[in-house]
Structure 1
Amino acid sequence: MQIISKSDFFLPISMQAEEKEISYTATNTFSTLNSLTSKTKNVWLVFHGIGYLSRYFIRLFESFDKDENYFIAPQAPSKYYKGNDHRRVGSSWLTKENTQPETKNVLRYVDAIVESEKIPEELNFIILGYSQGVSIATRWIASRKINCDTLIMVSGGFPKELKKENFTFLTENTKITHIVGEKDPFFEIEKVEAEKKRVKQILPQIEFRTHNGGHELDVASLKEIL
């Protein structure tokens, strides 16, 4: 019988693991609600939060006037099973892993959606981000210099890397609102007040609003803005 000494388990490794990068063409879905017609007044680009699929998130807007409002909901690319039974599926836009290149991938995906939808320039263009969707909405606006008519941020944090100079192209007519629930467990009062000051310096025309609920998209609050 051959005896293996303890030192044999610690032989030097000649090969090293290496992480590489590759580009490829990917396919993803997105959802729409209502139809883009001559009666349409508002086109909404709405970004969901963690855990949603776009086809469910977009249903939150069904109470809006169907003739005047057309909704486009991009779908976060990273899917995962939710709950212990692993039956429901959720999604996420980004994580702390490989964030910069994945952000570029997501923004190119949004570009492709908007290009395919051919949104008429004369219509009121509203961009909404909910929860994690705020980070995608604001990064897309800043990087592409999208001069939207209205930006609505709901229960989401403003990306740390974005500065005032990233939004100098916006006009004073751009309506910007942030809405948070008074009972939102993810927002502490002290942190909210500090964040308000920071964001106000970046987006001077921003208006801060609250609703009586928690970490959810309150449709009544959105209708008050319009």
Structure 2
Amino acid sequence: MNEHKLIVPRTARYYTIGSPSARVKDLWVVCHGYGQLARYFLRHFQGLDNGQTLVVAPEALSRFYLDGFSGRVGATWMTKEDRLSEIEDQAGYLNQLLQEHLKSLPKDVRVTILGFSQGGATVSRWIATEKPPVHRLILWAASFPEDINFTTSQAAFAEIPVALVYGTQDEFITSEALERKKQLMQQLGIEPAVYTFDGGHTIHSETLQKVGQEL
């Protein structure tokens, strides 16, 4: 048995809050977590809609039924199957999406990348491998991926302020996992600003506003 690969066009779906214009000062690209859909995830960012901010929520390319063979649908950025190809496809998708929106925005627009849960690993790999023009990175309830090449990726994160945000009742964030996450960041020379809130595995609107103002 021989494995073969063929690159084919894909229709990628994304949602936005706000409209491109000369008034836009901030562009946010926000990547959802495992099993979510972009249109529902984007609702958490309505508070950023101030007439000077454009929020773009790409949806992962692989969808599946959350329970059985029908009903609610979620999306995932990748699985362990053919993961290197999926990582490469993600980066190409996010690069194209970002560049498409930068064309219609002022040249001095500030770019903020937020990855929630699985989306955090996705955007971290994207920045590490492709070095897109990013001014701020927010990892929310996210695990920093251990498969990043630490030797070649330090430069990608060197000038980017990074925020690490999580709920104190998040069932997926243990003290051991948090410590490991911080150690991985230190290997890349990242000293993140850490924000916590009283809550679980979700986006907390007041904390989001605070991070957006302070980072």
TM-score normalized by structure 2? Answer: 0.90
Structure 2 regions of 5+ residues with no counterpart?
none
Aligned residue among 133, 154, 158 for 1:167: 154
Structure 1 regions of 5+ residues with no counterpart?
1-16
* Residues 65 and 210 of structure 1: CA distance in aligned 2, closer, same or farther (over 3 Å): same
* Residues 85 and 78 of structure 1: CA distance in aligned 2, closer, same or farther (over 3 Å): closer
* Structure with a larger share of its residues in helix: 2
Over alpha carbons, which structure has the higher Rg? Answer: 1
Q: Residue in 2 aligned with 1:125?
A: 111
Q: Residue in 2 aligned with 1:143?
A: 129
Shift, 1:155, TM fit: 0.5
* Structure number with higher relative contact order (C-alpha < 8 Å, ≥ 6 residues apart): 2
Higher mean C-alpha displacement, 128-137 vs 58-67 = 58-67
Q: 1:29-68 maps to which residues of 2 (within 5 A)?
A: 29-68=13-52
How far apart in 1 are the matches of 2:169 and 2:17? 29
Aligned length: 209
* Residues 130 and 57 of structure 1: CA distance in aligned 2, closer, same or farther (over 3 Å): same
Deviations 1:52-93 (A, max 9, x none): 111111111112233021101111011111235721111000
Aligned residue among 134, 140, 144 for 1:154: 140
Residue 193 of structure 1 aligns to which amino acid in structure 2?
A: E
Q: Residue in 2 aligned with 1:217?
A: 203
* Runs of 4 or more consecutive aligned structure 1 residues displaced over 4 Å after TM superposition: 169-172
1:200 equivalenced with 2:193 (yes/no): no
CA RMSD of aligned residues (A): 1.8
Determine if contact 2:16/2:57 at 8 Å carries over to the other structure. Answer: yes
Shift, 1:207, TM fit: 1.4
Residue 87 of structure 2 aligns to which amino acid in structure 1?
A: T
TM-score normalized by structure 1? Answer: 0.85
